[in-house]
């Protein structure tokens, strides 16, 4: 009979000749060696069986070690790695498909290697997760930790330090009065952009708006946070250095790092993420520290005098429990550059792409803007005119719906205690994600979800007035709950003003022999694979006053 005992017994056939040759002590050694091999084989078989049992549960291997019946449906994926392979490419689309296949749109369980994950693809479950205090933490990826983000708002653990940072940012950077006060700077930025666009069109006949939007976005954040802006066109070394650091940081933070989910891979650094982060951090620290030091010197030199302050001055002025160490300040300031730059530029590019593809919608927005601002090529007090621009706002909402910049809300949440969601128990330490893309493309939630139709947000035309700031989970591109995006009002104010100015001044059509390609790529945000190339034809000369 072939049994474990039989197998153990069988080694004698092999050992006897060895005994004859090497004597008694060698026999004992061989016995020990072979016994070791057998033990290893048995252990291997047991582990493989345990792995298979774990893997066989819905949701895959990371859910296997849990006691009790798992009630959340989901794909098993592969042994050990679970569903890690699904996270390459357009993960939001693949996860949406998987949720349908597994009848798990309410809540789906998956494993990313050792990480237990749940994903909500319906508004109700999304609300339960995002608004629950049990999910007010975030999992900290290796790159985020290395790049200092563990001490910044986005990744700081839920607690006093995080609360204090959010309060400071809410009062001094994102407060409505600050946003209104910064309108002039936003306007100056877009005017610079209009000039650059015009130069490009004159030189080549067309323009790629992305680089102009990225530069304007970076300058916009740099001016409100650091009180400085750069002339990218004149080739400033500092501006190039900053641009390169931001690009590198985006890539590193946006990369899906397998080692975050299979810790055994950490020592190999196969994706070269650890090494690249280690090289970037000292450059970032030196860059931001220099700005902090300059602000310190200015504060000392102008003590007692009044001068225009920025967010760095605010941080330097903190005292008592709120006072931040320089390293924490660097983390907070650096994060603002990150979060504030790509999202606004990416969203504006998507909006312009849809308007080039839909000329009748572009014309309607222009007509609305003309009715409000007359023949002026620049606008002032834009904030107060917004209520008279419902169609512009509807276009922005529709773009956020069709192309949410963070289709998986960019940053996941982490449960800090066992919690019940949609009738299922989710254990502490589970990563939770919301597939906003799945929700905004669900025909049960939105009629004709693939069609770009801003009218769906106009109550006067049978549509609904949906609040995109986190109160209505059918369209929550800024997240919701305690960790909702604190920069949403600033982001929206910037995008609204810039799109208005781009449309007031130019008519936008596709560049010759190109078509608008809406194919997306998921990095830190979801952006157009092929940058938008357009012809911008002046509607009216610059600086014409009404």
Binding site for ligand HEM (CB under 6 A): 130, 153-154, 166, 221, 335-336, 339-340, 343-344, 347, 405-406, 409-411, 477-481, 483-488, 490-491
Least distance between ligand HEM and beta carbon 87 (Å): 18
Distance CA 283, CA 287 (A): 6
Identify which of residues 113 and 487 has a Cβ nearer to ligand HEM in the complex: 487
Determine if residue 49 is labeled as part of a ligand binding site: no
Dig out the tokens for 302 from the structure. Answer: 């102008």
Dig out the tokens for 514 from the structure. Answer: 């190109």
C-alpha to C-alpha distances, 374 to 379, 505, 540, nearest whole angstrom: 10, 12, 11
Residue 508, φ and ψ in degrees, nearest 5: -115, 125
Starting at the earlier edge strand, list the strands of the sheet with 413-414.
108-112, 115-120, 431-434, 413-414
Contact 366, 374 (CB under 8 A): no
Contact 399, 354 (CB under 8 A): yes
Least distance between ligand HEM and beta carbon 6 (Å): 58
Identify which of residues 274 and 488 has a Cβ nearer to ligand HEM in the complex: 488
Identify which of residues 377 and 410 has a Cβ nearer to ligand HEM in the complex: 410
Identify which of residues 482 and 538 has a Cβ nearer to ligand HEM in the complex: 482
Distance CA 109, CA 328 (A): 35
Distance CA 544, CA 376 (A): 6
Least distance between ligand HEM and beta carbon 535 (Å): 26
Contact 260, 142 (CB under 8 A): yes
Dig out the tokens for 227 from the structure. Answer: 């009180």
Residue nearest to ligand HEM (CB): 479
DSSP 8-state assignment for residue 436: H
Closest CA to 505 of 532, 535, 537: 537
Least distance between ligand HEM and beta carbon 405 (Å): 4
Ramachandran assignment for 400, one of left (phi > 0), alpha (psi -120 to 50 degrees), beta (any other):
alpha
Contact 528, 349 (CB under 8 A): yes
Dig out the tokens for 354 from the structure. Answer: 């849809």
Identify which of residues 194 and 480 has a Cβ nearer to ligand HEM in the complex: 480
Residue 212, φ and ψ in degrees, nearest 5: -70, -40
Identify which of residues 34 and 484 has a Cβ nearer to ligand HEM in the complex: 484
Closest CA to 230 of 149, 337, 332, 315: 337
Distance CA 302, CA 316 (A): 14
Residue 71, φ and ψ in degrees, nearest 5: -105, -5
Dig out the tokens for 40 from the structure. Answer: 């290893």
Identify which of residues 409 and 535 has a Cβ nearer to ligand HEM in the complex: 409
Identify which of residues 227 and 487 has a Cβ nearer to ligand HEM in the complex: 487
Least distance between ligand HEM and beta carbon 246 (Å): 13
Contact 458, 452 (CB under 8 A): no
Identify which of residues 75 and 227 has a Cβ nearer to ligand HEM in the complex: 227
- Residues facing residue 426 across a β-bridge: 419
DSSP 8-state assignment for residue 511: P
Identify which of residues 330 and 336 has a Cβ nearer to ligand HEM in the complex: 336
Distance CA 337, CA 228 (A): 12
Q: How far apart are the first and last CA of the chain?
A: 99
Three-state secondary structure call for residue 440: helix
Closest CA to 502 of 196, 205, 292, 184: 196
Contact 299, 341 (CB under 8 A): no
Identify which of residues 54 and 433 has a Cβ nearer to ligand HEM in the complex: 433
Residues tagged in the binding site annotation for heme: 485
Q: Which residues are annotated as a binding site?
A: 485
């Amino acid at each position: 009979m072939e049994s474990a005992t039989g197998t153990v017994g069988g080694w004698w056939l092999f050992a006897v000749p060895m005994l004859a040759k090497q004597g008694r002590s060698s026999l004992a050694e061989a016995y020990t060696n072979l016994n070791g091999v057998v033990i290893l084989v048995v252990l291997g078989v047991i582990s493989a069986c345990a792995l298979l049992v774990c893997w066989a549960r819905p949701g895959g291997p990371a859910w296997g070690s849990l006691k009790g019946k798992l009630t959340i449906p989901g794909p098993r994926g592969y042994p050990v790695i679970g569903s890690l392979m699904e996270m390459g490419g357009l993960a939001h689309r693949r996860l949406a498909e998987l949720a349908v296949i597994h009848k798990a749109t309410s809540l789906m369980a998956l494993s990313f290697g050792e990480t237990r994950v749940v994903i909500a693809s319906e508004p109700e479950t999304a609300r339960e997760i995002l608004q629950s205090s049990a999910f007010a933490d975030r999992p900290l990826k290796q790159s985020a930790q290395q790049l200092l983000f563990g001490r910044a708002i986005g990744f700081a653990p839920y607690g006093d330090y995080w609360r204090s940072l959010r309060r400071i940012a809410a009062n001094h950077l994102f407060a409505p009065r600050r946003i209104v006060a910064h309108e002039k700077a936003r306007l100056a930025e877009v005017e610079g952009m209009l000039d650059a666009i015009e130069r490009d069109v004159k030189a080549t006949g067309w323009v790629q708006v992305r680089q102009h939007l990225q530069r304007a976005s970076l300058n916009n954040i740099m001016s409100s946070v650091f009180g400085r802006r750069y002339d990218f066109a004149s080739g400033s070394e500092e501006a190039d250095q900053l641009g390169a650091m931001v690009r590198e940081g985006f890539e590193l933070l946006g990369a899906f790092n397998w080692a975050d989910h299979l810790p055994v891979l950490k020592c190999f650094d196969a994706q070269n993420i650890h090494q690249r982060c280690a090289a970037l951090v000292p450059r970032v620290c030196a860059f931001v520290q220099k700005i902090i030091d300059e602000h310190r010197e200015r504060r000392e030199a102008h003590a007692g005098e009044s001068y225009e302050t920025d967010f760095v001055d605010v941080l330097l002025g903190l005292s008592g429990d709120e006072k931040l160490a320089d390293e924490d300040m660097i983390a907070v300031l650096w994060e603002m550059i990150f979060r504030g730059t790509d999202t606004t530029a990416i969203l504006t590019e998507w909006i312009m792409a849809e308007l080039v593809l839909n000329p009748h919608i572009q014309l309607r927005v222009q007509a609305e803007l003309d009715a409000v601002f007359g023949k002026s090529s620049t606008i002032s007090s834009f904030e107060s005119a917004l209520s008279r621009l419902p169609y512009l706002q509807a276009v922005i909402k529709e773009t956020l719906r069709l192309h949410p910049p963070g289709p998986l809300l960019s940053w996941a949440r982490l449960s800090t205690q066992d919690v019940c969601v949609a009738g299922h128990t989710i254990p502490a330490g589970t990563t939770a994600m919301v597939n906003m893309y799945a929700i905004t493309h669900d025909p049960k939630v939105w009629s004709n979800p693939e069609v770009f139709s801003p009218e769906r947000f106009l109550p006067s035309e049978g549509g609904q007035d949906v609040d995109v700031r986190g109160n209505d989970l059918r369209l929550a591109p800024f997240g919701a709950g305690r960790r909702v995006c604190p920069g949403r009002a600033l982001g929206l104010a910037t995008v609204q003003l810039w799109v208005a100015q781009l449309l007031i001044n130019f008519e936008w059509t596709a560049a010759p022999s190109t078509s608008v390609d809406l194919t997306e790529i998921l990095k830190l945000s979801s952006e157009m694979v092929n940058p938008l190339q357009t012809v911008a034809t002046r509607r009216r000369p610059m600086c014409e006053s009404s």
